[in-house]
Amino acid sequence: MLTEAVESYLAVRRATGLEFKSQGSLLQGFAAYSNAVGKQYVSSETAIEWAGAARSLNQRARRLGEVIRFARFIHAEDQRHELPPRAFGGEKGPRPVPYIFSKDNIQRLVQTAAQLGRRDTFRGHTYSAFFALLACTGLRLSEAIGLCFQDITSDGLVIRRSKFRKSRLVPLHETAQVGLERYLQRRRPYAPFDDHLFVSLRRRPLLKRDAQTAFQTVIEKIGIPRGPRLPRPTIHSLRHTFAVRALENCPGGRDRITKHMLALSTYLGHSNVANTYWYLQATPDLMRSIADSTQSFFTGERP
């Protein structure tokens, strides 16, 4: 019975546009555990036992949180399902401080990536263009990997059914258009049987793990400082950097800032503008600007 209830719940959530892959796996695991111990309804004790088997506190809180949301859904139809308490606290810990690349480091990253694969220069050209595109557009890794020839238009790149199953148009600066076309001139004759923009030496779309491995190789070569208390540069840091630089160039004035934030949120493909505002915390320059604006407001210098 509980297994069927979980599948019904997942069907409803997915019908709203959510993929719910990891959440579905967790709830299916909870249903199997409950069935194994003879529980046909959500039990607080069973839910806490199952969630408590996770290794870390954050994992326990997340597992229990998924059960709580499911329990609220199914409890509305059948009150024999209990609503477990949050025995492991909140699910979300503090966000890690993102690594923000300098302009010089991005140039070195792109140049060094071009040197990958000395025996086959196509690999170097691929990753150089790939990292450059991520840096100048703020695309998610999966979005860049999924790009196909048909997604290149005169108005920009069409991102099809990405995260949250949304599509959007990403305009390109003329310098980015030139760089992309330069790469495509090398790309077109190499693997004519696959229409993805970025392909591996196997003539297949790039894999996330291969792109991440290439990125870390380049990071080590250019010698970016690493340490336990320093932000860790990841391939996703290029997206963080794009967002922060865009915010640093935000025009003054409350109405203009609001429009700028909304445009940036749409450009990045965020489901909620609050996810874009989080980037305001990313650099000292932004925090200093916020502090100065706040002080000016309270001293009457600005309306």
> Which residues form the catalytic set?
140, 163, 236, 239, 270, 279
Query: Whose CA is closest to 266, among 152, 171, 200?
Result: 171
Question: Directed axis angle between helix 21-36 and helix 2-15, to 10°?
Answer: 170
User: Is residue 170 within a helix (H) or strand (E), and if so which, with residue range?
Assistant: strand 168-170
- The residue assigned the tokens 């760089």 is 179
- Give me the DSSP letters along 210-279: HHHHHHHHHHHHHT----TTSPPP-TTHHHHHHHHHHHHTPPSSHHHHHHHHHHHHHHHT-SSHHHHHGG
**Full strand arrangement of the beta sheet holding 168-170:** 152-153, 156-159, 168-170
Q: Is the dihedral of CA 225, 226, 231, 233 positive or negative?
A: positive
